[in-house]
Structure 1
Amino acid sequence: MAGSGARASVGSTMCGSGGGREREETAAAAFSLPAFAAGAHCAFSPHERGLLALSGPDGRLRVWETASSRLQHEYVPSAHLSAACTCLAWAPSSSKEGPQRKKRKSEAVEAGGQFDLLAIGTAVGSILLYSTRKGELQSKLSGHDSKINCVQWHQNNSCLYSCSDDKHIVEWNTQTYKVKCKWKGDNSSVSSLCISPDGKMLLSAGRSIKLWDLETKEVYRHFTGHATSVSTLMFITVRPPNESQPFDGITGLYFLSGAVHDRLLSVWQVRSERKEKNAVMTFTVTDEPIHIDLTISESKEEPVKLAVVCRDGQLHLFEQVLNGYCKKPLTSNCTIQIATPGEGADSTPKPVPILAAAFCSDKENLLIVYGNSLQPVIEKVSLNSTESHICLVRDVRRTLALKTEMAVTKVKTPMVNSEVKTLLPGIPGHSAAIQSSSCKEIIETKRKAGGKEESIEDRLGAMDIDVMKVKSSSGGLPQTDNFAVLLVQGLESNDPEILNKVLQIKKEAMIKKTIARMPVYAVIPLLHELTKRLQGHPYSALQMVRWLKSVLTIHASYLSTLPDLVPQLGMLYQLMESRVKTLQKLSRLHGKLYLLITQVAALEQAQDATAVNQTAKLVYEEESSEEGSDDEMAAEKDSDDNWDEDDEREDGEDREEQSDDEQERAVEKEINGDSDLDPENESEEE
């Protein structure tokens, strides 16, 4: 690979600014360069690379002048924290403005050909059009449902193309700022786009690379070969001028592709006679490419120049004539690194990462951006060296210090009297009286190059702060103002002792003050910590609910701006939902238990009450009442006896009456000569 050879041998010369030569540090070949900060995106303006648009992890857009490295514009989107920048694209130099912008063409000429629109893709699916001439937001395009991965302007500036994680490609009308056409680009996320130099073809990268006809929106060719998602697509050559039809006889059209976590750049050839899907050429680099710039070849004999900035901070330069298939991977013709000069006992130079690089219009000079994304250094380097490995020694700290002092001198410092109290940043809620003379002395002491710097104790004394009180408070319990700092430190270091000390606070007022003074970036980690503790002991959960209530009420506005809040707090939602479901059952059970307990308590209260003695203490009985009662009992007994005798008497009388009736019937029968008796009966009676 090229990386091992680049670090093993270093040449004796190096190219400097304006073609000058400098002595090279031989130890710079052994150091390891830091990785480029994730989330930073940059783009050079197409007109002579005059401007550099750079968006860092903080969400701010900064536009720098490449000639003087001076900051020209700084734009902070309203939702820069939740809708961070994901891609940038400048409008073409030959821009044709819409009807509302025609009257400003004269202003553009007077401004030296400055570019107007800069397309900014965001993480929430919207595209911002920022005007560098006005220094304000021109328009906002909404048509995607997910993160924007790439934006590309058409050559005539009448259309803007974008792709997103929602699997679609959108064609925008830049005059009306409306969706002109939208179609599905792939079955998965579409990661990159590129428009051909003639503006008739479009490359899109998803699971495979597709070549589209922009007129019919139909796929002409598929290219497969990358194991990971494609991050870069660029056309290297232009189509031969003798081809009138879009896809007839394409033989000299090449394009370049790079993928995530891949150290190979593939070159593909668009063929009409053979449907060959393999790459015809590959370039090898030391790490994943983060920024690529090239010079387009307009003929078969003209070589292609390629500048590739890798994640490890190195710049690789390639120069190759595209003449068909090449089996062996091609290594870089030159590798450029940047380092700081060694100081003191340790003379080992420290690496400085290269952020981006671009070829100038003459194709003989190269613009290199190095340092950091907040304060980059832009340098123009001449490509007249034949060395294969170059290390540029630059004192970045001195350059940044000079720029900082120049910026500070432009700030007007107000006069402060001794009686005025000023709020100082750094310590939450701290305020102290600052004497103007002391502050002036401190500033003068700092500005002295050879002067001795004052100690912290002297500075605190100059700011009229009780030093002994600060020292004593550090050993004991932390103050109320420091709880927020302790909580952030505990979340960042994941220290259970600090978190337990802070989260054991039970006073509602102190909890609210601590939550209000927390920085915004620590809200989500605190919610994750509270969710984990809510699943523990019930007593601990009761304490965590107080913190959770304060966080949700105080930082509700910040939480509402987060697009991925639901997946981040999914565990908390599930926990709260399960608790709410059991709340109804628990409330019913609580009601029944309350009724049962009240009834038992009422019964025990009734049993505990003193019983009333119902036995008469004195009974008075009269004798007459006793005799009368005896007579009455006797009379009742006699009446019972008489009742029995009367019943017997009535029965006897009935029997007598029946016998009398029978005798009368018998006499009547005898008189009438009738007899019921048979002869046998008569004889028996006789």
Structure 2
Amino acid sequence: MDVSVRLDGANQSGQLRSLAHDGRWIAAYNTHDESVDLWDLRTQRHIASLPDAGELTWGLAFSPDDGLLASAGPSGKVRVWDTGSHRSVAVLDTTSPKRKAQAVHFSPDGRSLAAAAADGMGNVTVWDTDRFRTRMTMKGHEGAAFGVEFSPDGRTIASVGEDSTLRLWDARSGRSLAVLDNHAGMTFDLAYAPDGRTLITGNNDGTVHLWDVRTRTGRATLDISAGTVYGIAVDAKGTSLAVANSDGTVQLWDIASERRTATLTGHTLGAITAAFSPSGSTLVSSGNDTIRLWDLDAGRATRHICDVVGPAVDRDRWRKLMPDVPFHMPCS
């Protein structure tokens, strides 16, 4: 399960600090040349470096139809590109007094774009994507807001930040719906399960919290024990959770049973973000070193290992190659 490849074709001598993945494209920001690079996931080839990036990028997000890519950075500007032509189509100003944008997310219908501000005030700004006009700004976080996401039905916006709160907002009016306390220090990322019933947050105390959206209460706390949780992702079926950690590992968890199913190792300078492919058979992760594609199909990974090592695999060799899979003799 830990067979991975590193994307090539672009300058990767810098740190890869943000990632977006929509099943067709992969976008990542590289600190070496301050570029936002696009890869074709199928061919794993570098397609383009998007123009006018020119600053540190903290957050990236694709629109649901793959047509747009948005970025957020410390200037407070949110930049939007057309993924087909690779041209810049909008540069949006947040209402952040200190002009810092941390994360971006499109609504499920693609008609709205939200950004979280790491400005000491935690504002969340929403624009329409027709003319890119500011629709509303939500205020409430004490300190920076680090993550923002629309619910699967588009009716609610969730945000997390430095104050350890999970906040829910009405996506039409901007009215505050709930303020939930993580009791976990800073909270860096969040993700809805596809059915909208569970909301998951990743925290800097090495925990992940699962929330019941209907009752707005905590459902479970997962002890990751791998340093700070920087990024989380849920697969399209809502069964698997990926957790990217400061120790360089990406852990996989079964959401229903709340059990860890695998630990992926390979990033050397910390894992920052993770995203599943639509089929759930591939996981994309980025860190301060590389972008990695992980094959989550255990059978396919086993066949690859057999091709490499031959028919004989002893227990010690198996434990090194696939530590999370029980030993058997697949290559005989």
TM norm. shorter chain > 0.5: yes
Shift of 1:356: 5.1
Higher strand share: 2
Q: Specify every segment of 5 or more residues in structure 2 that has no aligned partner in the other structure, as ranges.
A: 6-13, 303-314, 323-332
Letter of the structure 1 residue corresponding to residue 282 of structure 2: L
Residues 62 and 75 of structure 1 are in contact (CA less than 8 Å); yes or no, is this contact kept in structure 2?
A: yes
Letter of the structure 2 residue corresponding to residue 205 of structure 1: V
Question: What is the TM-score of this pair, normalised by structure 1?
Answer: 0.39
Q: Confirm or deny that 1:43 pairs with 2:46.
A: no
Letter of the structure 1 residue corresponding to residue 107 of structure 2: H
Q: Confirm or deny that 1:77 pairs with 2:20.
A: no
Where does 1:13-162 land on structure 2 (aligned, <5 Å)? 16=3, 40-45=17-22, 49-58=23-32, 59-77=34-52, 80=54, 83-93=55-65, 115-145=66-96, 146-162=99-115
Residues 27 and 36 of structure 2 are in contact (CA less than 8 Å); yes or no, is this contact kept in structure 1?
A: yes
Q: Distance in 1 between matches of 2:139 and 2:222?
A: 30
Q: Distance in 1 between matches of 2:269 and 2:142?
A: 41
Shift of 1:220: 2.1
Shift of 1:265: 0.6
Residues 16 and 291 of structure 2 are in contact (CA less than 8 Å); yes or no, is this contact kept in structure 1?
A: no
Q: Confirm or deny that 1:315 pairs with 2:232.
A: no
Q: Distance in 2 between matches of 1:86 and 1:352?
A: 17
Q: Distance in 1 between matches of 2:232 and 2:88?
A: 28
Where does 1:257-656 land on structure 2 (aligned, <5 Å)? 257-260=201-204, 262-272=205-215, 276=217, 278-296=218-236, 304-321=239-256, 331-338=259-266, 357-363=274-280, 365-369=281-285, 373=289, 376=291, 378=293, 380-384=295-299, 391=321
Higher helix share: 1
Shift in alpha-carbon separation, 1:289–1:383, aligned structure 2, 3 A:
farther
Q: Confirm or deny that 1:170 pairs with 2:125.
A: yes
Shift of 1:371: 8.3
Shift of 1:61: 0.8
Residue of structure 1 aligned with 2:176, choices 219, 244, 248: 219
Q: Distance in 1 between matches of 2:279 and 2:293?
A: 18
Q: Distance in 2 between matches of 1:370 and 1:255?
A: 22
Q: Distance in 2 between matches of 1:315 and 1:123?
A: 27
Q: Specify every segment of 5 or more residues in structure 1 that has no aligned partner in the other structure, as ranges.
A: 1-13, 19-36, 94-114, 240-252, 298-302, 323-329, 340-350, 393-686
Shift in alpha-carbon separation, 1:197–1:383, aligned structure 2, 3 A:
farther
Q: Distance in 2 between matches of 1:231 and 1:371?
A: 15
Q: Distance in 2 between matches of 1:371 and 1:188?
A: 25
SS state of the match for residue 358, structure 1?
strand
SS state of the match for residue 281, structure 1?
strand
2:144 is matched with which residue?
Answer: 189
1:653 is matched with which residue?
Answer: none
Question: What is the TM-score of this pair, normalised by structure 2?
Answer: 0.76
Letter of the structure 2 residue corresponding to residue 130 of structure 1: W
Q: Confirm or deny that 1:255 pairs with 2:199.
A: yes
Shift in alpha-carbon separation, 1:144–1:219, aligned structure 2, 3 A:
closer
Residues 121 and 149 of structure 1 are in contact (CA less than 8 Å); yes or no, is this contact kept in structure 2?
A: yes
Letter of the structure 1 residue corresponding to residue 192 of structure 2: F
Partner deviation per Cα, 1:48-75 (whole Å, 9 max, x = no partner): x221101022321111122222110112
Shift in alpha-carbon separation, 1:369–1:196, aligned structure 2, 3 A:
closer
SS state of the match for residue 113, structure 2?
strand
SS state of the match for residue 265, structure 2?
strand
Shift in alpha-carbon separation, 1:192–1:175, aligned structure 2, 3 A:
same
Q: Distance in 1 between matches of 2:239 and 2:287?
A: 28
Q: Distance in 1 between matches of 2:143 and 2:288?
A: 34
Q: Distance in 2 between matches of 1:227 and 1:354?
A: 20
Partner deviation per Cα, 1:247-278 (whole Å, 9 max, x = no partner): xxxxxx21100123x21111111344xx64x4
Residues 17 and 272 of structure 2 are in contact (CA less than 8 Å); yes or no, is this contact kept in structure 1?
A: no
Shift of 1:305: 0.6
Q: Distance in 1 between matches of 2:155 and 2:219?
A: 22
Q: Distance in 2 between matches of 1:312 and 1:189?
A: 24
Letter of the structure 2 residue corresponding to residue 147 of structure 1: K
Residues 336 and 391 of structure 1 are in contact (CA less than 8 Å); yes or no, is this contact kept in structure 2?
A: no
Shift in alpha-carbon separation, 1:320–1:171, aligned structure 2, 3 A:
closer
Q: Distance in 1 between matches of 2:148 and 2:89?
A: 23
Shift of 1:331: 5.0
Q: Distance in 2 between matches of 1:357 and 1:121?
A: 17
SS state of the match for residue 160, structure 1?
strand
Shift in alpha-carbon separation, 1:75–1:362, aligned structure 2, 3 A:
closer
Residues 128 and 139 of structure 1 are in contact (CA less than 8 Å); yes or no, is this contact kept in structure 2?
A: yes
Shift of 1:219: 2.1
Letter of the structure 1 residue corresponding to residue 212 of structure 2: Q
Q: Distance in 2 between matches of 1:270 and 1:211?
A: 10
Letter of the structure 2 residue corresponding to residue 67 of structure 1: R
Letter of the structure 1 residue corresponding to residue 60 of structure 2: L
Shift in alpha-carbon separation, 1:195–1:383, aligned structure 2, 3 A:
farther
Q: Which has the larger radius of gyration?
A: 1
Aligned length: 292
Q: Confirm or deny that 1:235 pairs with 2:155.
A: no
SS state of the match for residue 226, structure 1?
coil
* RMSD over equivalenced CA pairs, Å: 3.2
Q: Distance in 1 between matches of 2:191 and 2:134?
A: 25
Shift in alpha-carbon separation, 1:370–1:125, aligned structure 2, 3 A:
closer
Q: Distance in 2 between matches of 1:289 and 1:370?
A: 13
Residues 202 and 232 of structure 2 are in contact (CA less than 8 Å); yes or no, is this contact kept in structure 1?
A: no
SS state of the match for residue 40, structure 1?
strand
